[in-house]
Amino acid sequence: MPKSRLEGGAALRRAVVVALFLATIAGGIVLDNYWLRSLTEVFLIAAIAQSINIIAGFTGYAAFGQVVFFGLGNYATAIAMTRLDMPFIAGALLGSVVCAGFALVCGWPLFRLKGHYFAIATLGLNGAVQAIVSNWASLTQGGAGISLPLPPGNVLGNARLFYAAFLALMWASVVVVWLLNRTRFGFACRAIRADEEAASAAGINPLLYKTSAWMVSAVLAGWVGSVYAYWQSYIEPSVAFDMDIAVRGFVILLLGGPGSVFGPVIAAFVFQLTSIVVWSYLLTFHLGLMGLLIMAAVLFLPEQSGWTNIRAALAARASAALPAFARR
Three-class DSSP category at 115: helix
Helix (H) or strand (E) holding 234: strand 234-235
Q: Does 290 bind another protein (CB under 8 A)?
A: yes
Out of 82, 239, 294, 308, the only residue in the binding site for another protein (CB under 8 A) is 294
**Closest residue by Cα to residue 249 from 77, 4, 53, 113:** 53
CA–CA distance, 110 with 122 (Å, rounded to integer): 8
**Closest residue by Cα to residue 242 from 105, 129, 163, 77:** 129
Contact pattern from residue 47 through residue 76 relative to another protein, giving x for each residue in contact according to CB under 8 A and a dash for the rest: ---------x-----x-x------------
Three-class DSSP category at 235: strand
Taking the complex as a whole, the smallest distance from the CB of residue 17 to another protein amounts, in Å, to 26
Residues 117-156 that bind another protein (CB under 8 A): 117-121, 123-125, 127-128, 130-132, 134-135, 142
Residues 191-250 that bind another protein (CB under 8 A): 247, 250
Residues 83-122 that bind another protein (CB under 8 A): 109-110, 112-121
Q: Can you say how many angstroms the Cα of residue 53 is from the centroid of all Cα atoms in its chain?
A: 7
Judge contact between 59 and 213, C-beta under 8 A: yes
Taking the complex as a whole, the smallest distance from the CB of residue 10 to another protein amounts, in Å, to 22
Output 31 or 120, the one with its CB closest to another protein: 120
Distance between the two ends of the chain, CA-based, in angstroms?
A: 17
Residues of the shown chain interacting with another protein in the complex, contacts defined by CB under 8 A = 56, 62, 64, 109-110, 112-121, 123-125, 127-128, 130-132, 134-135, 142, 247, 250-251, 254, 284-295, 298-299, 303, 311, 314-316, 318-319, 321-328
